[in-house]
Amino acid sequence: MRALLPQLPASLRTALGSVRGRLTILATTLLAVALALAGIIMLFVLNQSLLGSADSATSSRAQEVSTTISTDGLPGLNHAALALPDDLDVIQIVDARGRVLVSNPAGRRAPLVPPIAAGDRRTVDGATFPGSDVEYRLTAVGVSVDTGDLTIIVAAAEGPIHTVLLTVFILLCVVFPLILLLLIFVTYYFVGRALRPVEHIRAQVAAISSSDLSRRLPVPPTNDEISTLATTMNDMLGGLEDARRHQLRFVGDASHELRSPLMTLVGLLDLSRTTREPIDPETVEDILLPEARRLETMIDDLLLLAKADERGVPLQIRDVDLDEIVSEEASRLTALTPLDIQVTLAPVRVRGDAEKLSRAVRNIADNAARHARSSVHLTMASDNRTGTAAIAIIDDGHGIADQDKDRVFDRFVRLDAGRERSHGGSGLGMSIVTEIIRAHGGTVVISDTPDGGTTVTIAVPMKIP
């Protein structure tokens, strides 16, 4: 069928290639096969029924004649015994040498079948007289009388049976195509009617542009597949709208964050070009280099998040000693901040990416150090029963409101709006932590400490699932 489609007119090719056309073709094909099988079975059953009726009539009359001859002999056969009803055509009595002794109709001097032995019974199909094309179905019965063995032949012409079968066959050949034609129109109409809401939904979705994803489809109150489809499409549109809103916000926030260090760099370079004075080393060390590094870090963070969105965070899996990572981060914080850095270690080894896990711990530790008032506590533990390792980083800061605990993991989110960007991070740290820990099959949980601070707990499986 597909090979023929390119040779058809475009409009017909489109109609046949549609779901409506394919369902119509499928239904028509199935019904055609069913009708063909039904027709074959009907003709077979009808043929067997007609042959059975002919056999019953010939056998019954042959038995009657046989009984009469066995009782009264040939002289006992009267006109009534040899009479032919409408369903019988020939009665013959043949002796053992094949001579026709009695025949109705008269004049048939050749037997339809050779004589058989007394006591035998035979059914023959397609018997003919010499020089005649008329076929008969007959019953032959052998009887024994004083003068010798006789064969009683009672036959019915098969022509009426063939005529009935041919008539029924012609009727089927006429009626079945009409049924198929009617089915084509009915199926095409009702399938089109059933698919009309789907086409309506398709047209509405096609009319929704990417700039107006707030539109929604009306959900029909039918509680069927159509209403489910409309609901699913609305859910999809809602997801696309959220994704686009997040994308626009992400692009806007990224542009805003990148603009600040770039403006600093470009401003100082323009000033140097205008005044024709070189930038002094102190400015390079205190302003240009930190801003350039901040810009580099932000770009690296954006690239990592972009890779995570596309195919997940790439990991280089090997054995990792988590206690070494926590110890190194504690030492780094001690060297960089005046805070009281406390650490509680336990020997824990996991399968993971050492660099990525170290980055996740560092992001949380830096965030804790920025908000702590006097101390940061890093602890770790493992649970062999659940097969997980946990790192908790605790600060004694002002804590995080319950409504903001989920927002912390969003990109470019700073809960302290008044904090300067140069000291407040890019707002991507916790997002990166989430992606890294998720890639390791773990979780990140934020909770409150009794003294009002914040505890961020990382839990990762000791073996990557």
Query: How many Cβ atoms from other residues are within 10 Å of residue 259's Cβ?
Result: 11
Amino acid at 434: T
Q: Who has greater pLDDT, 157 or 261?
A: 157
Asked if residue 216 is part of any domain, the answer here is no
196 and 266 in a common domain: no
For residue 83, being part of any structural domain is answered with: yes
| CATH number of the domain where residue 136 is located | 3.30.450.20
Instruction: Clarify whether residues 115 and 244 are in a common domain.
Output: no
pLDDT at 274 over 70: yes
pLDDT digits (tens, 9 = 90+) for 278-308: 888 888 787 888 788 878 877 887 787 777 7
Residue 212 belongs to some domain of the structure: no
User: How many structural domains compose the chain?
Assistant: 3
Which range is least confidently modeled, 153-162, 218-227, 307-316, 416-425? 416-425
Residues 12-44: pLDDT tens digits?
555 556 777 888 888 889 999 999 999 999 999
Tokens of 371: 């908000």
Q: Say if residue 262 is in the same domain as residue 325.
A: no
Give the pLDDT mean for 359-367: 90
The Cα 230–Cα 222 span in angstroms is 11
Q: Do 245 and 321 have their domain in common?
A: no
Residues 255 and 157 in one domain: no
Highest mean pLDDT: which range of 241-250, 276-285, 368-377: 368-377
What average pLDDT score do residues 139-156 get? 88
Residue 421 has pLDDT above 50, yes or no: no
In sequence order, what are the residues at sequence separation of 6 or more whose Cβ sits closer than 8 angstroms to the Cβ of residue 269? Answer: 279
Residues 33 and 143 both lie in one domain: yes
- pTM for the structure as a whole: 0.53
Which of 215-229, 256-270, 327-341, 421-435 shows the lowest per-residue confidence on average (mean pLDDT)?
421-435
Q: Contact, 149 vs 85, CB < 8 A? A: no
Q: Is 316 helix (H, G, I), strand (E, B) or coil?
A: coil
* Domain boundaries, position 417: 317-461
159 and 244 belong to one structural domain: no
Would you call 444 helix, strand, or coil by DSSP? strand
- Encoded tokens for 281: 């080393």
Q: Are residues 339 and 232 in the same domain?
A: no
- Note whether 460 and 437 are within 8 A (CB): yes
Name the one residue in this structure whose structure tokens are 């015994």. Answer: 81
Contact 422, 406 (CB under 8 A): no
Report the C-alpha dihedral over residues 237, 240, 245, 251, rounded to 10 degrees.
-160
Report yes or no on 249 lying in a domain: yes
**Token pair for residue 42?**
């009907």
State the pLDDT at residue 210. 66
pLDDT of residue 420: 45
